[in-house]
Structure 1
Amino acid sequence: MTTNKRHILLNGYVSPENYRSRSNGRSPQVPARDRAVHGISLLNQYSRILNHYDERPRLPPVTDEKGIYVRLISFEQCDLPIDKIDNTYFKLCSLVKSNNRETAIIYINENDRTKFTKKINDYLNPSKDGIEFPRNHLLIDSIQNIELADITSFWTDKKDLIPDDHGVEKWFELWLKGNKEDVLNIARRLCERINGRLGNTSINFFSILLLFLSVRVYRD
């Protein structure tokens, strides 16, 4: 059982201070941009991504997902609005901050590709303006560039560790979520697609399976 004990107070060794959280939260303040210049620039960037996707050879999918991964790069000193890029239409895969900019990788299902186009078009349309800003101001005015994601977009180590010795076989960790049999089937299809070799061992972390994949690296 516990009993009440008197506290020991050492005068002169402590000073009272108000509590201050280490987290300042994400600032909702996003500066307004030149609507026409900025909106059309993003629209053109996203249109090029869609065109590139449509022009690529249609290969059998490795997973059940059919869509694109895009990279959103924020303006300097500007946070990307998480609730706008992780919702019913867009799936946030990663968010990192470097050199005072945020970079988000989002997945957009093939059926929802036009949703992002509509976000930009509504931003460009004065008849859809809010009281103070264009519609979708927080989202569109926080993004400086939109790019098609590549394999390096999913790299979680330091960028200078990305292999640059072309044609040399390297081992990589492959983290996949799902039941073991489905994950192994995905890994096998991936190895077949990229001419890789699947390791003989795996590590199970609850719903995530860690696999090891050997492949020769070629970068454009």
Structure 2
Amino acid sequence: MEGKKHLFVGKSGKAQKYTYPRRVVITPTIPKRDRAAHGANLSSQLTLAKVAEEAISEEIDSIELDTPVGVQLSFESFPGIEITFEKLADVRSGIELLSVVQKEDIYVANVLVPLGKFGVLEKKISEYLNPSKDNKSGPKHAVLLNAISTIRNTVIESLWTDNPELFPTSNQEVDWFEIWLPVGDDRVAVINDFKKLCGIHEITVSDSTLEFPERTVLLVRTSLDQLARSAS
């Protein structure tokens, strides 16, 4: 085209063989634990967390819901050790990894365990404690369990994925919060059940939603105390 400047590749370049930019990824070594002591400790913590299952079962017994309900658990790592998060999820039993939060050098994985599915996690610990289940590298599930220091029921702070400095300073102050719901097997049913539960606890839910492949985002107007009560 006349009057227009163009860019042309000059002849100053030279051909070179492609070199793969290899990067060495150093995976932190997970220390070995005293199998009996560590396994017993995790088992005890899981048993305490399981108490919430009965309470939730009683609460929803009179509520007609179309989607499975569960208990939210938080798995906290030892300092500087990252949990193999994908090993916490179990598609067949419906155990789902909800989020992962890093607090300084500690990782917290938040997991939803459907009612009646605690046995899946209990089995992992049982097999870890059983020498007859060992593999060539040691106790079964050691890569997962040796990285976990604490198992507990999830608290609101553990679900906060925004800047920690933005976390509300008052538990009673009412404000708008984003809630990220899992899609499950039926996105619409999950949303409807969530709104039904919010209505029971007098929590305002916005009409609009933002949809992602694995999550649905809604806005709720409530306080941290009210959220905690509705989740317990």
TM-score (norm 2): 0.74
Question: What's 2:208 paired with?
Answer: 202
- 2:190 aligned with 1:190: no
- 2:120 aligned with 1:121: no
For the aligned residues, what is the CA RMSD?
3.2
- 2:84 aligned with 1:81: yes
Change (3 A) 1:152 1:194: farther
Change (3 A) 1:68 1:187: closer
Instruction: Give the structure with the higher percent strand.
Output: 1
Mapped partners of 1:128, 1:169: distance in 2: 51
CA contact (8 A) 2:174 2:221 kept: yes
Q: CA deviation at 1:192?
A: 1.4
**Structure 2 unmatched runs, 5+:** 1-7
TM-score (norm 1): 0.78
- 2:221 aligned with 1:214: yes
**Structure 1 unmatched runs, 5+:** 11-16
Q: CA deviation at 1:209?
A: 4.6
Question: Helix, strand or coil for the counterpart of 2:97?
Answer: strand
Question: What's 1:91 paired with?
Answer: 96
Question: What's 1:141 paired with?
Answer: 146
- 2:12 aligned with 1:8: yes
Question: What's 1:19 paired with?
Answer: 21
- 2:112 aligned with 1:107: yes
Question: What's 2:36 paired with?
Answer: 36
How many residues align? The count is: 209
Deviation above 6 Å: which 4+ runs of structure 1? none
Mapped partners of 2:132, 2:171: distance in 1: 52
Question: What's 1:13 paired with?
Answer: none
Mapped partners of 2:117, 2:210: distance in 1: 33
Mapped partners of 1:136, 1:40: distance in 2: 14
Change (3 A) 1:146 1:198: same
Question: Helix, strand or coil for the counterpart of 1:144?
Answer: strand
Question: Helix, strand or coil for the counterpart of 1:111?
Answer: coil
Percentage identity across aligned positions?
Answer: 25
CA contact (8 A) 1:84 1:139 kept: yes
Mapped partners of 2:187, 2:98: distance in 1: 21
> Which residue identity does 2:220 align to in structure 1?
L
Mapped partners of 1:132, 1:112: distance in 2: 28
Which one of the candidate residues 153, 156, 166 is aligned to 1:151?
Answer: 156
- 2:172 aligned with 1:170: no
Q: CA deviation at 1:153?
A: 2.3
Note the alpha carbon deviations across 1:29-75, whole angstroms, 9 max, x for none. 32210111111111100011112432457222666122211111111
